């Protein structure tokens, strides 16, 4: 009975360590309360599974079948807890499970090699299984610093999982390799030859080397994309500046013309007053005031950079005959970098205008709301769009069109920097982006 209890505890410890490795890649994104709740759930699962293992070993005996049964299936409850509590990350979970499976295969192969090849006085199956679990825990402890570093930095950039087809390739490659090899272990053998040991060790090694190659390749591609995006975004800013400068000059020329005609207005006004035509004089004043107001740049807020961004894109939308409504309530001083918010606005409004231009003239519309309610900023952008959008796992639209997708990349950067939450959805011919973030 003692060996049943000891082995049940050891197997539970092995599976808890596996759950810990699968938890590490997501640790930096979890709140303290979520972390505590996850580990409470893990503790409950561990207690229940230990009791179940003891019952199973007592009822069916401690043999190769029962041992492999608990080793191969016991981790599933921990996986369920992680996937349920760390939601909307299905592909990342699948990838992490795949890599942890390869790591477990490596530890298992090393411990099995030590158990079978070392000159130890093993008298039976139960003693062999007990020594195997002891060596497993020892090898895990020796490789703990490497495992901790590797799994804490395991997840590749999120955009690789945003497009589901690429994400499935990423996740299923190590999973398929691991499962196809573990099928060879699903038999009643417990002692394997050197070829089996070397095959498992080499498989794990090559999978991790391939993963390292993939990470290096992704980083180089990411750097190249970053340079291209910076160039394109710089061009976008220059174009926006040119538009704003053009609007400013147009208004200045209009004001200069009005000032030139002001002398004639005044003479006409004086003549009307002297002749007692007060009604006509009042109408002339109102008309002149309206002309002056029409020549001035619209003011959306007191911040000049944000006002310029809104002015350029609202004007651009109006030139394309897109009905625009806007509500802007911002404090004079922002608690964030003005250029970041201006770039975000420029990108999302440009995307909204492009989507509208693909609509028929009678199905266009753009609603913009940017408000500050201490301590939170709220941005809402709604635009007409009948074309179905494809959303990535992060909830943002994805596209395979060359040269597109920069707006969403800019939005992701903004969210990472300011901890913004986003809600992107399409319904009844409208696309709505809702963002909110707190003061920094």
Is residue 428 predicted with pLDDT exceeding 70? yes
Least confident of 191-205, 244-258, 265-279, 352-366: 244-258
DSSP category for residue 185: G
What tens digit of pLDDT does each residue of 1-16 get? 778 888 899 999 999 9
The torsion angles phi and psi of 376, rounded to 5 degrees, stand at: -130, 140
State which of 75-79, 257-261, 316-320, 337-341 shows the largest mean pLDDT: 75-79
User: pTM (2 decimals)?
Assistant: 0.55
Per the DSSP assignment, residues forming a β-bridge with 325 are: 367
- Whether residue 87 contacts residue 395, with contact meaning beta carbons closer than 8 Å, is answered with no
- Intra-chain end-to-end CA distance of the chain, in Å: 59
Whole-number Å distance between alpha carbons of 70 and 132: 14
Q: What is the pLDDT of residues 76-108, one digit of tens each?
A: 999 999 988 887 677 888 888 888 888 888 888
pLDDT on residue 338? 80
Largest CA distance in the chain: 126
Other Cβ atoms within 10 Å of 394 Cβ, number: 17
Rounded to whole angstroms, how far apart are CA atoms 96 and 439? 34
User: Does residue 25 surpass a pLDDT of 80?
Assistant: yes
Between 205 and 281, the more confident residue is 205
Strand order in the sheet with 376-384: 324-329, 366-373, 376-384, 430-438, 421-427
Chain mean pLDDT for the chain: 79
Domains and CATH numbers, the chain: 2-192 (no CATH), 298-440 (3.30.565.10)
295 pLDDT band (50/70/90 cuts)?
very low
312 compared with 403, residue with greater pLDDT: 312
pLDDT value of position 239: 62
Answer positive or negative: Cα dihedral of 403, 406, 409, 413. positive
Q: How far apart are CA 399 and CA 30, in angstroms?
A: 29
What digits encode the pLDDT tens for the residues 192-246?
Answer: 666 666 777 777 777 777 777 777 777 776 676 666 666 565 666 556 556 556 6
**Count of other CB atoms within 10 angstroms of residue 180:** 10
Helix (H) or strand (E) segment spanning residue 370: strand 366-373
Mean pLDDT of 327-354: 85
């Amino acid at each position: 009975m003692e060996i049943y209890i000891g082995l049940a505890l050891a197997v539970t410890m092995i599976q808890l360590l596996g759950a810990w490795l699968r938890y590490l890649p997501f640790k930096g994104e979890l709140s303290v309360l979520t972390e505590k709740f996850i580990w409470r759930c893990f503790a409950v699962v561990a207690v229940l599974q230990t009791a179940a293992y003891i019952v199973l070993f007592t009822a069916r005996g401690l043999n190769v079948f029962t041992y492999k049964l608990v080793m191969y299936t016991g981790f599933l409850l921990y996986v369920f807890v992680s996937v349920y509590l760390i939601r909307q990350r299905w592909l990342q979970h699948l990838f992490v499970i795949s890599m942890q499976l390869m790591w477990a295969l490596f530890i298992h192969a090393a411990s099995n090699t030590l158990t079978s090849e070392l000159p130890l006085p093993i008298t039976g199956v139960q003693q062999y299984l007990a020594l195997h679990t002891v060596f497993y825990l020892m090898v895990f402890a020796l490789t703990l610093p490497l495992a901790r570093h590797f799994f804490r930095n395991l997840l590749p950039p999120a955009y690789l999982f945003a497009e589901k087809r690429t994400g499935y390739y990423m996740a299923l490659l190590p999973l398929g390799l691991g499962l196809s090899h573990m099928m060879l272990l699903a038999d009643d053998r417990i002692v394997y030859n050197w070829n089996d040991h070397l095959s498992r060790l080499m498989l794990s090694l090559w999978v991790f080397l391939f993963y390292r190659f993939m990470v290096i390749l992704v980083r180089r591609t990411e750097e190249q994309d970053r340079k291209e995006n910076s160039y394109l975004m710089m061009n976008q800013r220059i174009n926006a500046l040119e538009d704003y400068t053009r609007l400013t000059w147009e208004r200045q020329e209009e004001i200069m013309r009005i000032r030139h005609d002001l002398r004639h207005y005044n003479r006409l006004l004086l003549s009307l007053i002297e002749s007692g035509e007060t009604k006509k004089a009042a109408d002339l004043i109102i008309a002149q005031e309206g002309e002056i107001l029409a020549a001035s740049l619209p003011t959306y807020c007191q911040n000049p950079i944000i006002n310029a961004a809104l002015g350029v894109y609202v004007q651009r939308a109006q030139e394309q005959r897109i009905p625009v409504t806007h509500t802007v309530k911002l404090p004079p001083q922002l608690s964030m970098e003005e250029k970041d918010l201006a770039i975000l606005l420029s990108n999302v409004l440009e995307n909204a205008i492009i989507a509208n231009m693909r609509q028929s003239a009678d199905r266009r519309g753009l609603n913009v709301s940017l408000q500050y309610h201490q301590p939170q900023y709220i941005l809402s952008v709604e635009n007409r769009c009948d074309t179905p959008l494809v959303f990535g796992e992060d909830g943002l639209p994805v596209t395979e069109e060359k040269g597109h997708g920069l707006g969403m990349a800019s939005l992701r950067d903004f969210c990472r920097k300011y901890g913004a939450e986003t809600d992107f959805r399409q319904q009844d011919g409208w696309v709505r982006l809702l963002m909110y973030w707190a003061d920094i």
